[in-house]
Structure formats: C-alpha cells, structure tokens
Amino acid sequence: MKSGFGARARAAMDAYGPLCVGIDPHAALIEEWGLPDSVEGLERFAATCVEAFAGHVAFVKPQSAFFERFGAGGVAVLERTIQDLRHTGTLVLLDVKRGDIGSTAAAYAEAYLDEDSPMCADAVTVSPYLGFGSLEPFFETAERNDTGVFVLALTSNPEGPQVQRARQGDTEGTVAGSVLAQLKALNGDRTPMGPFGAVIGATLETLDEDVAFNGPILAPGLGAQGGTADDVARLFGPVADRVLPSTSRGVLKAGPDPAALRDSAAQVNAELVRSLEMYRTSRSPA
C-alpha cells in the first residue's frame, strides 16, 4: 500500500534534494538536440530525459502541451514517459493546468489521478479560477488514490497579478491568499505535510501572502525565466523544506547527452541546497 502523497513527496525531497526538472519538448529545443520535430523526435527526447533524471531528482514534471501538439502519437509518448518514470519510483508531476466544473472536472481527475488510468501521475497542476470549489473532484480523486494536486496561486507570468493579487473587498485579502487559506483547511495538520500544494513563482518580487498552508510548493521560473537559487531562499526561506523549485530549459539545454543532463540537474540542485542552507544559517540564533 502506498504512503500518502505528502509523505512520498517529503521522502523524495529528503532523498534527492528539492529540484523538480521539467520535460518541455519545445520545437526549438528538439531541434537543438539534433532531433526531428516529429513524434519520433519527441519519443527520443522523452526517453533521454527518463534515462537522465529517473532516480536522480525528487520530481520530474512533463508539460502536457508539448506532447499534445503531436496529437494521439504525442499523447501515447506522454503515457509511456509517465509510466517509465513511475516504474523507477520517480515522482511525476504532470503539468496540465486543468480546471473545469462538474462531471468534466471529474473526468479530468480520473484521467490524471486515478491509478487505473494509463496516464495517472503522482500529482497534477490545476487552475482554481472557475472557483476553488470546482476543484473538489480533483481533491476527492487524489485522496482516494494517494496522489496530489498543485493549485495555481501566484504564478510567474507577468499577467498573473491582475487576477491573483486582486483584493476581495475592502477588508479581505487577495484572491491568491484565499486559495492558500483554502489549501490550509484541506491539508489540516497532516504530517509530514498534506497532499495539496500551491504553484508560486520563483520570479516574484515579494511574497506577502501566508504560505504556511502545510503543503508542498511548486516554484517555477528557475533558470531560463530568470529565477535564481538565491531568489528561492529569499522568497521561501521560512518554508524552504516544502519548496520544489522547478526548471526545464535551464537543465535541458545541456542535452542531448544523458550524463550531461544529469550533471546539470545535480549542479542546480546543489546551488539550491547551498542557498537554502545559507538562509537558514543566517537566521539561526548566534
């Protein structure tokens, strides 16, 4: 019987460090690797990433869109990639950013979080902007299957604050703050942490919202988007033990050699560990 997702995430982070590596087969990146921009090229790209990262990082995060653009063949490659990674024990966070209502949300949840599905991952990303309650099918399916859900809260794209940091009336907090508060209620006091996380960008200038919601934090934006290990420490220092900084292009540019990819991920991981440790040391009592 599997442990709950929060426990599995904690164990992976303790074993491998905080880094989450994205598999983002951009057309330009496939070309840089000397591969054709086709299903065959995609398959070789994904297989190389599995060889490089499986058993070496805490999480691997395939971006579904870059597989879906090839149609049914690309989706088949995504299924195999997820299965191959999970068979090694590597945790897979599938980046799909789904969000819908009713039976449609339930169908998405079954597709990505139910162990009977060929595309089941360990966790998925979802959007709360049809109302946080619309995500209930994802939470329910995750609870039944010991899988996880990461809810968009404060994203790294420049358009995000218009919605995410909008205030809810004169006395209430931001929309993002409400998302985090509801995640806190769902996670409760589960140990070592709850199964429901938030997506909070590593490129943010400030982080005023309360992120002590007892769940994991996916922090995209490291590397190519400009986020650094020091930014992660500055933003998330007090909750550093729950942060999964994510990079894709920053590591993938080292390909296509699997050993070079693995070394690149190890270097980024070491920088993160060093920056977070320096933060903790600087805040420790003399």
Q: What is the pLDDT of residue 170?
A: 67
Q: What is the pLDDT of residue 172?
A: 80
25 domain residue, yes or no? yes
pLDDT in tens, 55-88: 999 999 999 999 999 999 999 999 999 999 999 9
Residue 145's domain is classified under what CATH number?
3.20.20.70
Cα–Cα nearest to 5, from 55, 42, 58:
58
Contact residues for 2 (Cβ-Cβ < 8 A; gap 6+): 8, 146
pLDDT in tens, 105-132: 999 999 999 999 999 999 999 999 999 9
286 domain residue, yes or no? no
Write out the catalytic residue numbers.
97
Yes or no: say if 214 and 7 are a contact pair by the CB < 8 Å rule. Answer: no
Residue 1's pLDDT band, with cuts at 50, 70 and 90, is very low
- CA–chain centroid gap for 177, Å, is 19
Cα–Cα nearest to 264, from 84, 49, 82:
49
> Which domain, by its residues, includes 102?
5-280
- CA–chain centroid gap for 198, Å, is 9
Strand partners, 167: 174
154 domain residue, yes or no? yes
Residue 282's pLDDT band, with cuts at 50, 70 and 90, is confident
| Alpha-carbon span 78 to 113, nearest angstrom | 15
Q: What is the pLDDT of residue 20?
A: 98
Cα–Cα nearest to 277, from 217, 224, 229, 215:
229
Q: What is the dihedral of CA 263, 150, 12, 53, to 10 degrees?
A: -30
Q: Look over the chain and give the mean of its residue pLDDT values, rounded to a whole number.
A: 94
* Number of domains within the chain: 1
